[in-house]
Structure 1
Amino acid sequence: MSTYTEQELRSAPRVNAQDTFAPLKKVETPAHIIKSDAEAIEIAHKLAGEFIRHAGLRDSEGILPIKEIDAYSQSGLWGINIPKAYGGAAVSYATLAEVIKIIASGDSSIAQITQNHLALNAHIALDGTEEQKKDLFGLVLKGYRFGNAFSEKNSKNVAAFETKLTDHGDFVTVTGEKFYTTGALLAHLVPIVAVNDEGKGFLVFTDRQADGLTVINDWSSFGQRTTASGSIKIEQVKVAKSRVIPVDAFDTPTAAGAISQIIQAAIDGGIAKGALEDTITFIKNQSRPWIDSGKEKASEDPFTVSAIGHLVIKLHAAEALLERAGKKIDEALISPNETTVNAATLATSEAKVLTTEIAIEATNKLFELAGTRATLKAHNLDRHWRNARTHTLHDPVRWKYFHIGNYALNQISPPRHPWN
């Protein structure tokens, strides 16, 4: 991937421009189709190596990662959890978590933009009709991207949806407002969560160019800046009934919640990995040893060496739990029942706890170990902490501890929803 030219830097669209954002052009060249787990990991490493080159610049300048997202979806990684029967690789969820962690270690905002798309692939597999699977999976394999219009900033909680769906027979209309719409700005289709008069939830796969759909570039968070997770206005948007999928996956034991959560955990693991790698590089090349250590290099300071060892161990523990959770999800998909789904949900919760903790600890320790010069604006290393602090707020891990303990002590199953 080429570097940014001066002209590109001057003209590149920025985040939080407080304007409506025109849809990107339709896919012209079919995406690559990945065939195996090994190929998915190989491509992820290649892309992460490219994404990391200008991750700090994109963050500091607020540059939307348009050409990076194009390269990402064209690589085929956005279709790796599509079932083989529909042309996908159906990789293990342990592999999917590894792919997302690798991408997030290069640029966690880019990794997050994939999050809802991959979770939606799973929802289509669980809740879609045969024709909907053929249609939507076919688009993904061509390189189409799903955004999202799920959460609502002013509702009483994350699961209280006020966006309304009205059924007109062959089509529906949708009206409402959404926020935290990660991926929608750069998407080709924007799935909207809406409820009918009975409170039943639906996913409405809306064309990004649909009349009445307005995506606003107003994401102002201090972290995960270039996800552009701003707002959407939905004004009597008309969508064919064939693109409407009922949300049924949480009514029975399925791995839907664990799938959504393992992707979130993998992003946090990637943030920790990237921060630890930058910490080690900075200590070896720029930090000074503390005067009392008697050492010539900061990398020889015994307390620094021990602290790095502590972080490495915690990161490896989090990675091990990610892999274990992925395997439990695979088992739940093969044989969905209360036992397997509980095991997948709880294993993923354990992974989410450790990836959250190591993301925050590693990004904080970076400055303690690298020293004051690591805080200089030129390095922009604070992006790691800002990204970790922002992304780990997606769902509170304090509740993960509770659900894990409640199952261990009282055999009470954890709740089933996208945040667990």
Structure 2
Amino acid sequence: MTIRHPAQPVLARPAAPPKAIPHRIASDAEAIAVAQDFAETLRAGASKRDAERHLPWDELDAFVATGLWGISVPRAYGGAGVSAGTLARVTAIIAAADGSLSQIPQNHYYSLEVLRVGGSEAQKRFFYDRVLAGERAGNALAEIGHKDFKRRTRLYREDGGWRVDGTKYYCTGAIYAHWIPTLVSVEEDGASRTQIVFIPRTAPGVSIIDDWDGFGQRVTGSGTVRFDTVSVEPEWIVPFQSSFERPTTIGPVAQIIHAAIDLGIGEGAYRDMLAFVRERARPWIDAKVETAREDPLTLSEIGKVRVRLRAADALLRKAGERVDAAMANPTEETVAAASIAVAEAKILATKAGLLAANKLFELSGTSATMAEDNYDRHWRNVRTHTLHDPVRWKYQAVGQYHLNGRHPPRHGAI
């Protein structure tokens, strides 16, 4: 296969309509079982997709067909309405098989939470139905080139209708999406506010550039999206800023998925490390043992990785419980507790994922660095993904909360 280097960006083609109605998952237990089965089908091709930067169109169609992209749709609207902990566990299971594939639906789930919190009844019914029919949401949230965090992408009225103009970057999932939830700035009563607009991928004026060239998460399709006087319907505009002016779980839900991705990538690296040490690694000469699996220092380090991953998993499960409690009863206290629990899980998932990816090489030896195995994808993926938001700020948020009783700020990065 010819490798297309990211230095040669191209206009991305729109996603094809869903080929079939996805399976309708009915419970948390079924969601986890389906994820485990599907992960096995992903694992074999993950290295090749990464090495060749082969965008996983077929794999995504299969992913959607499992029904996993609809599990966070509330039961009242036909979905499984799984817990936040289950959503995180499903994400980690997929990430252990393919880190990139697990990140692609992150903003899909995020947008469904934005919809649950701030959308009208009509908007919920429409977009949840589209998701259960197999349509995917991506994202166009981030902007670059400015030191502040003001949104330059505008929603404005022209000729009696609504229009969107602007450019977004790091748009994970947008290439594969049928809808692109887009963060916009709109002038209302003399003040600027932010909203989310669910924009159809095929709307005139929408163009996506496949220009993501990060060394990790290579097939997430996290490129550039441009909007050139795109006409949008008022029914596609979902309140956003107002959802952060009161306690809601949009931020914790977004962040628990990110933590799960980091944990899952670490679990994938750990799995490959165990296999390599068992089957191919040699013991250090001073160990005076026959196999690497008997090397006492290797055993000690493997134990450390295992404990760190299990600790991160335990914090992730606890965070899921806190997020579920906040979703059921969103108050200042419950949402703050959820945000802090997720921050704690994110800190440890970051550390555990990076540790596992590093120890894969340290304990396996030089032969583990061969390009044929492509084990470096684990480190590249977890290092790239853990840069989404700095854990150094999560430490201080945790400290402020527990020492001074100060609640963390409400936004998508806590």
Q: Could you tell me which residue of structure 2 aligns to residue 164 of structure 1?
A: 154
DSSP-derived class of the 2:165 partner: strand
Specify the code of the residue in structure 2 equivalent to 1:263.
Answer: I
The Cα of 1:167 is off from its aligned counterpart by 3.0
Q: Could you tell me which residue of structure 2 aligns to residue 191 of structure 1?
A: 181
DSSP-derived class of the 2:219 partner: helix
Q: Could you tell me which residue of structure 1 aligns to residue 305 of structure 2?
A: 311
The Cα of 1:168 is off from its aligned counterpart by 4.8
2:410 counterpart of 1:416: yes
* CA shift digits 1:218-237 (9 cap, x unpaired): 00000000001010111101
DSSP-derived class of the 1:404 partner: helix
Specify the code of the residue in structure 1 equivalent to 2:156.
Answer: T
Q: Could you tell me which residue of structure 1 aligns to residue 95 of structure 2?
A: 104
Q: How does 1:282-297 map to 2 (within 5 A)?
A: 282-297=276-291
Q: Could you tell me which residue of structure 2 aligns to residue 180 of structure 1?
A: 170
Indicate which of 188, 192, 214 corresponds to 1:221.
214
Specify the code of the residue in structure 1 equivalent to 2:62.
Answer: A
Specify the code of the residue in structure 2 equivalent to 1:218.
Answer: D
- Indicate conservation of the 8 Å contact 1:16/1:217, yes or no: no
Specify the code of the residue in structure 1 equivalent to 2:400.
Answer: N
Between the aligned partners of 2:229 and 2:395, the Cα distance in structure 1 is 42
Q: How does 1:10-409 map to 2 (within 5 A)?
A: 17-157=8-148, 159-168=149-158, 171-197=161-187, 198-247=191-240, 248-409=242-403
The root-mean-square deviation of aligned C-alpha atoms, in Å, is 1.3
The Cα of 1:15 is off from its aligned counterpart by 5.7
Q: % of aligned pairs identical?
A: 44
Specify the code of the residue in structure 2 equivalent to 1:288.
Answer: R
- With 176-185 and 166-175 compared, the bigger mean Cα shift is at 166-175
- With 146-155 and 391-400 compared, the bigger mean Cα shift is at 146-155
DSSP-derived class of the 1:60 partner: helix
Specify the code of the residue in structure 2 equivalent to 1:71.
Answer: A
* CA shift digits 1:274-303 (9 cap, x unpaired): 000000100111100110001111011000
The Cα of 1:365 is off from its aligned counterpart by 1.1
Specify the code of the residue in structure 2 equivalent to 1:207.
Answer: P
DSSP-derived class of the 1:176 partner: strand
- Indicate conservation of the 8 Å contact 1:15/1:63, yes or no: no
DSSP-derived class of the 2:25 partner: coil
Between the aligned partners of 2:61 and 2:284, the Cα distance in structure 1 is 45
- Indicate conservation of the 8 Å contact 1:162/1:194, yes or no: yes
Specify the code of the residue in structure 1 equivalent to 2:283.
Answer: P
- Indicate conservation of the 8 Å contact 2:18/2:61, yes or no: no
Residue correspondences, number: 410
DSSP-derived class of the 1:25 partner: coil
The Cα of 1:22 is off from its aligned counterpart by 1.3
Unmatched segments (≥5 aa) in structure 2:
none
TM-score under structure 1 length normalisation: 0.95
Query: Alpha carbons of 1:139 and 1:171: their partners in 2 closer, same or farther (altered >3 Å)?
Result: farther
Query: Alpha carbons of 1:52 and 1:240: their partners in 2 closer, same or farther (altered >3 Å)?
Result: same
The Cα of 1:26 is off from its aligned counterpart by 1.2
Between the aligned partners of 2:147 and 2:38, the Cα distance in structure 1 is 39
Q: Could you tell me which residue of structure 2 aligns to residue 6 of structure 1?
A: none
Between the aligned partners of 1:16 and 1:216, the Cα distance in structure 2 is 12
The Cα of 1:13 is off from its aligned counterpart by 7.8
Between the aligned partners of 1:170 and 1:388, the Cα distance in structure 2 is 47
Specify the code of the residue in structure 2 equivalent to 1:282.
Answer: F
* CA shift digits 1:164-193 (9 cap, x unpaired): 110359741000001000000011111111
* CA shift digits 1:60-105 (9 cap, x unpaired): 1010011111111111111111111100111111111100000000
TM-score under structure 2 length normalisation: 0.97
Specify the code of the residue in structure 2 equivalent to 1:299.
Answer: R
Query: Alpha carbons of 1:15 and 1:67: their partners in 2 closer, same or farther (altered >3 Å)?
Result: farther
DSSP-derived class of the 2:162 partner: strand
The Cα of 1:331 is off from its aligned counterpart by 0.3
Runs of 4+ with >6 A deviation: none
The Cα of 1:393 is off from its aligned counterpart by 0.1
Specify the code of the residue in structure 2 equivalent to 1:287.
Answer: A
Between the aligned partners of 1:27 and 1:72, the Cα distance in structure 2 is 11
Between the aligned partners of 1:54 and 1:377, the Cα distance in structure 2 is 15
* CA shift digits 1:344-402 (9 cap, x unpaired): 00000000000000111111111110001001111100010000110000000000000
Between the aligned partners of 2:18 and 2:4, the Cα distance in structure 1 is 20
Query: Alpha carbons of 1:101 and 1:170: their partners in 2 closer, same or farther (altered >3 Å)?
Result: farther
- Indicate conservation of the 8 Å contact 1:15/1:64, yes or no: no
Query: Alpha carbons of 1:288 and 1:349: their partners in 2 closer, same or farther (altered >3 Å)?
Result: same
- Indicate conservation of the 8 Å contact 2:183/2:196, yes or no: yes
The Cα of 1:257 is off from its aligned counterpart by 0.5
